[in-house]
Amino acid sequence: MEKWRPLDEDNTKVELFYYDDDTQTQHVKTVYKHTDVILDANKAIQGTQAGRDAENHFWEVARIPPSIQHLWLKEGLDIYNREHGARLMKKLDDPEWKYLRVQTGRIGNRSGHI
């Protein structure tokens, strides 16, 4: 039976450690906190002109929790890499990920983004 032990913890994540005696291998996994809090906050502000500044310019388009960023990195999508911009916008426009956006409209196929 696996027994994960805390390795490190901060206000955003917990890193856990497990040593498998049978295979003599070490395993580390990261569990991110506050994902639901971020998604609930996004849902609450969608459609309220959130993400726009005083001049009505579009500013913030999404809030992506670290747990989702980590999942996407495993899939090869780095949200901080400009070359991945088109894939990121497509992902954010997907209904499955709609609660990552702070606005309800589509964000892909627009100029000026990433």
Residue 58 shares a structural domain with residue 28: no
Q: Is residue 112 part of a domain?
A: no
Secondary structure (H, E, C), the chain: CCCCEEEEECCCEEEEEEEECCCCEEEEEEEECCHHHHHHHHHHHCCCCCCECCCCCECCCECCCHHHHHHHHHCCCCCCCHHHHHHHHHHHHCHHHHHHECCCCCCCCCCCCC
Q: Do 6 and 53 belong together in one domain?
A: no
How many domains does the chain contain in total? 2
Asked whether residue 10 is assigned to any structural domain, the reply reads yes
Note the pLDDT tens digit of each residue in 60-106: 778 888 888 988 999 999 999 999 999 998 999 888 888 888 877 77
> In terms of residue numbers, what domain contains 17?
1-33
Q: Cα angle vertex 88, ends 86, 92, to 5°?
A: 120
Do residues 65 and 49 share a domain?
yes
Specify the higher pLDDT residue, 62 or 52.
Answer: 62
Read off the pLDDT of residues 13-30 as tens digits, 9 standing for 90 and up: 788 899 999 999 999 888
Inside any domain, residue 110: no
Q: Verify that 17 and 52 share a domain, yes or no.
A: no
The pLDDT of residue 84 is 94
Answer yes or no: pTM beyond 0.75. Answer: no
